[in-house]
Structure 1
Amino acid sequence: MTDAELRAVSFIVPSGFDDPQRASGGNVYDRRVSDGLSRLGWTVRMSQVHVDDPSTVHSVLSQVSDGELVLIDGLIAGRAPAAVEIASLRLPVVVLAHMASGAFEDADPALIEGERRSLRSARQVIATSDWTRSELVRRRVVAADRIIVATPGADDAPMSTGTSAGGALLCVGVVAPHKGQDTLVEALATLCPDHEWTCTIAGSLDTRPDFAEQVERLATMSGIRDRVTMPGVLAADELDRAYRGADLLVAPSRSESYGMVIADALRRGIPVVASDVGGIPQTVASSRAAILVPPNQPKALSDALRRWMVDPALRARLAADARRAGSHLPRWSDTVARIAQALAGVR
């Protein structure tokens, strides 16, 4: 096998993974890995398939030449376990696990079983957080020695300019139940009217339109709709502007494997108020720039936001800690190098 063949990989990702209107942590991760491997000299053969179409996954895998390396997004692998099991008999298959489905209360049992089957048949598993790895091991889905961790990176970015009062709040992520924007709106509704604040909730409104409408309706009924902006998915330059003007990132998630937007905020020197859930504590473990609160508890979140707004010394300390923490976060080049090393090891 030639050197070029050794540095080739078929990468199977969800359809629309590079569509800005379908922005998600998993899609961003896949896109950065694809681009990064190409820059390192890998030949990356991309295949986009619908996550709920196992027959297409089987068709794509059947067209891969014997012995060729396959990297498949776990969101697809868990829904097409039979295709992965069959392919693994003649192909070195590596599954990119963005999450451990069994750790989430509302997970589909069929998906949990599909994830178990596909990960067990893979030659190697790449987890995108230490938390995901620990959950897969704890639930006996995969042995620890078959999982490596490649956490998401964060790009260098200009420091936030923010405001003097600390009232520019930003929440980034698909508007869906697991991201907890309803909890955020409930928390904001109980803040003293004298507090000067605005909140931008940036993220897709189309993934769960019923939930997005619920959040907007809740803001209206609470009398704070004029302070809450829900622009949908922001283009890259618009999102950069939102970060530059933000004082605080709020991540009220009910479940989270890592928290890429938290890393993006810290890279810009923006402190964080977030749920103490999933991989978030590990994301902020190296800093003191975050206030963690129990998930799904509006009062606890409201109390944390109130502390932030009324205490200038707290704001200054957290902002300084965020600037220090951001300089030590992994970069996407580190993430890709780790994955390239794992793929070469499988070879």
Structure 2
Amino acid sequence: MRIAMISEHASPLATLGGVDAGGQNTHVAELAAALAGDGHQVRVYTRRDDPGLPEVAPLTDGVDVVHVPAGPPVTLPKDDLLPHMGAFAEWMAADWRGNGRPDVAHAHFWMSGLAAVTAGRACGVPVVQTYHALGAVKKRHQGAADSSPPGRIGYERALGRAVDRVVVQCTDEMNELIRLGVPRHRMTLIPSGVNQARFRPDGPAFAKDRTRVLTVGRLVERKGVEDLIRALPAVPGAELVVVGGPPPSEMDGDPYVRRLRRAAESNRVADRVRLVGAVSPEDMPAWYRSADVVAATPWYEPFGLTALEAMACGVPVVATAVGGLLDTVVDGVTGDLVPARDPAAISSALRRLLTDDVRRTEYSAAAADRAVQCYSWERVAARLAMMYAGVTGVAAATAAGRSAAAAPTAAEVVA
């Protein structure tokens, strides 16, 4: 099957850690590679982030990344890209006419969906939509600080009715879309996956000299790092290691890093808070394995990939009960769920888990098992390929044995 993936702001080739580079970039890269591993041909259409980049660059065998020369380069924040989606769609449609029409287009993020629907209608290509984040949720939590373009929520509602299928990543997202007015029968729940060749319990770990709580993510307010810092005084003896943000050489000049440092000083835990900055993807498994507990405490979260990566490494998770974390973390089995924006609840959960070796060992085993059984990229790709086949009429080119592997387990929620 020929698959076009549209990821207008999140290139699978991007360096992770920036404001617009995170979970979606990883999702697109891993999904494209897994689909190619099953014999599909994948082309990922993303914006040009450097005028000197080649038009087409390989990601892996069977996957090409197409840098669409429509609009300005990546220096614009993603929220400013809406006016350029028409040109993006026109260029993509011309590419499909000249280089072969795909069997299906899978759009990632709402602006990608606008471009995909426009090009798809021009070329007769069915479109599948994954939102990754919803404007209604962002508006609810950020209020006046929400920088989304005007009309985003309306566009997302219209997309849900216009595309051939909506892929939702968690139950919470499905419920949000139903409230938005997207028909339930148009949705299929297929979560993100985790790279189990990289993220696994065995392997090297970075050294530590005290109990370690690790949190991983972009340094933006909604990730809840300040809540963790406020919780730390009630977790005696533990250090908080924060991985993510700008490169180490740029940390001192970052305004939010300075804000976090002030928070650590005012809470008298500056000697127990370590801001690492961006690290290489190759080092991430060793960081996870070095932790006694991983804390994922965002105010809202469409999926929560870092919690899943930690689970795959056999590390228990304390997470806020929001979004996709409600699906991935089984409360009292693979970790503990706590209310968002509640430092007292966070500290209580961390303290209880860090002082109970038996509970922590049980959580670790269950977390690794759940990641393996429910969230392999091979399973995700096989289920998506079957869904693609349903909307295109093109038989999924997977091995016969994959149909059994793609069958949902009792632990999965399947739409």
Tell me which interval the TM-score lies in, with the shorter structure as reference length: 0.7 to 0.9
Tell me how far apart the structure 1 counterparts of residues 193 and 332 of structure 2 sit (CA, whole Å): 16
Residue 16 (str. 1) matches residue 11 (str. 2): yes
Residue 94 (str. 1) matches residue 125 (str. 2): no
SS in 2 for 1:169: strand
Letter in 1 for 2:14: D
Residue 184 (str. 1) matches residue 228 (str. 2): yes
Residue 328 (str. 1) matches residue 369 (str. 2): no
Q: What is the CA-CA distance between 1:250 and the residue it aligns to? A: 0.2
Q: Structure 1 310/30 Cα, relative in aligned 2: closer, same or farther at 3 Å?
A: same
What is the total number of aligned residue pairs between the two structures? Answer: 334
Residue 200 (str. 1) matches residue 236 (str. 2): no
Contact 2:170 2:323 in 1 (8 A): no
Q: Structure 1 325/41 Cα, relative in aligned 2: closer, same or farther at 3 Å?
A: closer
With the length of structure 1 as denominator, give the TM-score of the two structures. Answer: 0.86
Contact 1:72 1:94 in 2 (8 A): yes
Tell me how far apart the structure 1 counterparts of residues 158 and 382 of structure 2 sit (CA, whole Å): 28
Tell me how far apart the structure 1 counterparts of residues 307 and 365 of structure 2 sit (CA, whole Å): 16
Q: What is the RMSD computed on CA atoms of the aligned residues?
A: 2.8
Tell me how far apart the structure 2 counterparts of residues 249 and 30 of structure 1 sit (CA, whole Å): 24
Q: Structure 1 220/320 Cα, relative in aligned 2: closer, same or farther at 3 Å?
A: same
Match of 2:168 among 127, 138, 147: 127
- Counting aligned pairs with the same residue, the percent is 25
Q: Structure 1 318/40 Cα, relative in aligned 2: closer, same or farther at 3 Å?
A: closer
The residue aligned with 1:235 is 280
Contact 2:289 2:314 in 1 (8 A): no
Q: Structure 1 10/119 Cα, relative in aligned 2: closer, same or farther at 3 Å?
A: same
Q: Structure 1 155/10 Cα, relative in aligned 2: closer, same or farther at 3 Å?
A: closer
Contact 1:88 1:122 in 2 (8 A): no
Q: What is the CA-CA distance between 1:172 and the residue it aligns to? A: 1.0
Tell me how far apart the structure 1 counterparts of residues 224 and 207 of structure 2 sit (CA, whole Å): 25
Tell me how far apart the structure 2 counterparts of residues 72 and 345 of structure 1 sit (CA, whole Å): 17
Q: What is the CA-CA distance between 1:39 and the residue it aligns to? A: 1.7
Q: Structure 1 197/8 Cα, relative in aligned 2: closer, same or farther at 3 Å?
A: same
Contact 1:204 1:233 in 2 (8 A): yes
Q: Structure 1 179/164 Cα, relative in aligned 2: closer, same or farther at 3 Å?
A: closer
Letter in 2 for 1:86: T
Question: 1:1-347 residue pairs with structure 2 within 5 A?
Answer: 7-13=1-7, 14-22=9-17, 23-49=21-47, 51=78, 52=81, 53-63=84-94, 64-65=96-97, 68=102, 69-77=104-112, 81=114, 83-90=115-122, 91-104=125-138, 105=140, 106=142, 108=148, 110-140=151-181, 142-156=182-196, 157-159=200-202, 167-188=211-232, 190-191=233-234, 195-205=236-246, 209-285=254-330, 288-347=333-392
Tell me how far apart the structure 1 counterparts of residues 183 and 210 of structure 2 sit (CA, whole Å): 46
SS in 1 for 2:195: coil
Tell me how far apart the structure 2 counterparts of residues 277 and 293 of structure 1 sit (CA, whole Å): 9
Contact 2:117 2:127 in 1 (8 A): no
Q: What is the CA-CA distance between 1:110 and the residue it aligns to? A: 2.3
Letter in 2 for 1:72: A
Greater alpha carbon shift after TM alignment, 36-45 vs 26-35: 36-45
Q: What is the CA-CA distance between 1:127 and the residue it aligns to? A: 1.8
